[in-house]
Amino acid sequence: MNPDLSRLVLDHCPEMLMLVDPGSLQIMVANASAANTLGYPLAQLEGLAITEVECALQSVFYWQDVHSGQQLDVRDQEEQYRLCNGELLSVRKSIQVLEHEGVARLLVRAVPTQSEHVTEDALAQALSALRATLESTSNAILVIDVNGRIDSMNRLFGKMWGVPDEMLYWQYDTRIFDFIVACVEETELLGERLRAIMDPHETRDVLHLHGGSVFEMSARPKYLGEQITGRVFGFQDITQRMQIEHDLRESRAMLEARVLERTADLHAVNAALQLEKEQQAGLIQRLEAAQNQLIQSERMASIGQLAAGVAHEINNPVGFVNSNLGSMEHYLQALLRLLSSYEQAELELSAPTQQQLLLLKQEIDIEFLRDDVTELLAESLDGLKRVTRIVQDLKTFSHADEAQQQWANLETGLESTLRVAWNEIKYKAEVVKEFAGIPEIECFPFQLNQVFMNLLVNAAHAIVERGCITIRTGHDEHQVWVEIQDSGRGIQPENMARIFDPFFTTKSVGQGTGLGLSIAYGIVKKHQGQIEVKSVVGSGTTFKVLLPKSALGADAA
C-alpha cells in the first residue's frame, strides 16, 4: 500500500495508536491523535520510550516483563498517561501483540476516559435524586421489573406492610410477595395485580388488611420508550380516611333519625324532607348503577388478564396434542392397511358372513369413512401447525434482549412481524410483498423486527380509510435494503426534518408518544445503516432501511 495512504488512514483514527518495539521499548510509529492528545510533535513522540508516557506502577512492571521477553495482550485497562507538559491524563488502553516479517511488535490503543467519568457521575446523581424522591413521598412504593423481581422499594413500603428486616435486607422477592398477599383479605386480587407486570393499563384497588387497616393500591406500567419494562405499585394507608367517612355516615344517619323524630308534627317540613329523601334515593341508585358498571369493567379486565395467561400456556398442550395426532396418523395408516388385508381375505369367508360384512359396510359407508378420516386428521394437523406458528411468532417478536449479533434473513423477520401486527393492519390496508430473496445479514434480528413493526404500524395509522402497504426488499454487493411504502396522508414538508426527533408526533394527545421512529432510527444507526424517507402529501410515504451485510463490512465502510 502507498505509505502516504497508510499514514492518512492512521492519522484519521480517533484512538491513540502507538507501535512499540518490545526490545528497546521505543515508540516506532504513532498517529496524529496520539501526538495531539499527548502534546508532543509527532517526530518527537516516535522515538520516546513508552515508559515515558505510561506512568502507572502496573504498567512499569508490565513493560519490564515485555523487555524480558514476556509479551501478553492487555484489554480495557485503566492507565495514567503523562502529557508533554507533565500533567496526567486518565485513559483506557488495550495492547495487542502483532507479528511483522517474523518480528513481534506491540500495538497500544488508548482513549481518554474523562468524558466517561462525567457520564457516570451524572448517572449517579440522577439515581441519587430518584432515590431521594422515592423516600420523600408519602406513599409506599414498590417497583417490579419485567421478570417479576423487585427492582426497588422505599423504606416506607417495608414499614407500612411490616415486612421483616431479614426479607428486606436480602430482598427475598417471592417471600416478600407472599408476605404482603397473606396480609390482606383480597389475596387473589393482590396476587393477580403483582403478576400482571405487562398489563398496559393503570389500576386502582382498595385492600383490607386482617389487622383492620385499609390500603389504597395504584399500579401503572413502567416504560422504556414504548416498551413496558416493569410495573410501579403505590400504597397509601387510607384507614383514617375510611374511618372518618364511616363516622360521617353514622352521624348522618343519626341526624336524619333525630330530624324525623322532631318533625313528626311539621307536615310541610316532612314533605320537603321526603322529597329530599327521594332525590337521595335516586342519586344512590345512579351511584349503584355506576358502581355495577365499574365492577363489570374490572371483571372484564380480569378476564382479559386470564385470557393472556392462557395464551402463554397454549404452547405445552399444543405440543403434546400435535405429538398425539402424529402418532394417531401412524396408527390410522396401520389400521387402514389391516382393513385392506381383511377385505382381501373376505372371499375365503362363508357366504352368510360375507353378506353380513357387506351390509355393515353399507350401513357405516366404509369408503366415505376411509377417505374422510384421513382428511379430518390432515386438517387437524394443519390447524395445529397454524396455532404453533402464531405462538412462535409472538414468542419470537417478544425476544427483545440480544447480546450478540447473528446471521438472519430479514424477509423471514418481516413475515413474522407481519403476522404479529396483522390485527393492526388488516382493517386498514392490503399488504403487497415484493421480496427479492435477499441473503442473510449479520445483525440483531429481533431489534430490526421492532423497526419493521414501528414502520408497519405507522403506515397503517397513516391510511385514513382503506389503502395499500407495499413491502419491497433488495440487495447489492455491500448492503441489503427493506422498503415500506403506504398510500396514506403523507408527511407535511415542514415536519420532514423532525420525524426522527424523540417525542415529536403529529398524532392527537394520547394516541402516540413520538418515540417509534426515534427508536427505529437508533436501532438502524446501531447497525451502521441508514433510513431514507420520501413522502408526497396526499399520496403516501416510503421508508427505506439500508443495512450492511455484515458487521465487518460496516466497519470497513
DSSP 164-233: -HHHHHHT-HHHHHHHHHHTBS-HHHHHHHHH-TT--S-EEEEEEBTTS-EEEEEEEEEEETTEEEEEEE
CA–CA dist 41, 52 (Å, integer): 15
Q: Tell whether the model's pLDDT for residue 308 goes beyond 50.
A: no
Q: What is the predicted pLDDT for the residue at 330?
A: 72
Higher pLDDT, 55 or 322: 55
Same fold, 3-112 and 117-240: yes
pLDDT digits 0-9 by tens, 498-518: 888 877 777 765 566 667 788
Mean pLDDT score, 73-80: 90
CATH assignment, 117-240? 3.30.450.20
pLDDT digits 0-9 by tens, 174-201: 899 999 999 999 999 999 999 999 999 9
Query: 140-145 and 150-153 as β-strands: parallel, antiparallel, unpaired?
Result: antiparallel
> Which residues lie below 8 Å from residue 158, measured CB to CB, with a gap of 6+?
165, 168
Q: What is the predicted pLDDT for the residue at 315?
A: 61
Q: What is the predicted pLDDT for the residue at 307?
A: 38
CA–CA dist 530, 170 (Å, integer): 46
Least confident segment among 109-123, 341-355, 395-409, 423-437: 395-409
> Percent of the chain at pLDDT above 70?
82
* Domain edges within the chain: 3-112, 117-240, 316-395, 399-556
Higher pLDDT, 115 or 465: 465
- Give the three-class secondary structure for 537: coil
Least confident segment among 4-13, 167-176, 307-316: 307-316
Higher pLDDT, 390 or 191: 191
Write down the pTM of the prediction. Answer: 0.35
Angle (CA) 547 552 554, round 5°: 35
Q: What is the predicted pLDDT for the residue at 161?
A: 93
pLDDT digits 0-9 by tens, 467-509: 999 999 999 988 999 999 999 999 888 888 888 887 777 776 5
Least confident segment among 114-118, 130-134, 295-299, 399-403: 295-299
Q: Residue 294 — pLDDT band, cuts 50, 70, 90?
A: very low
pLDDT digits 0-9 by tens, 514-546: 677 888 898 899 999 999 999 999 899 999 999
Q: What is the predicted pLDDT for the residue at 244?
A: 92
Q: What is the predicted pLDDT for the residue at 94?
A: 93
Least confident segment among 289-293, 340-344, 388-392, 452-456: 289-293
Q: Residue 302 — pLDDT band, cuts 50, 70, 90?
A: very low
Q: What is the predicted pLDDT for the residue at 553?
A: 53
- Give the three-class secondary structure for 26: strand
Architecture of domain 3-112: 2-Layer Sandwich (3.30)
Average pLDDT of the chain to the nearest whole number? 82
Architecture of domain 399-556: 2-Layer Sandwich (3.30)
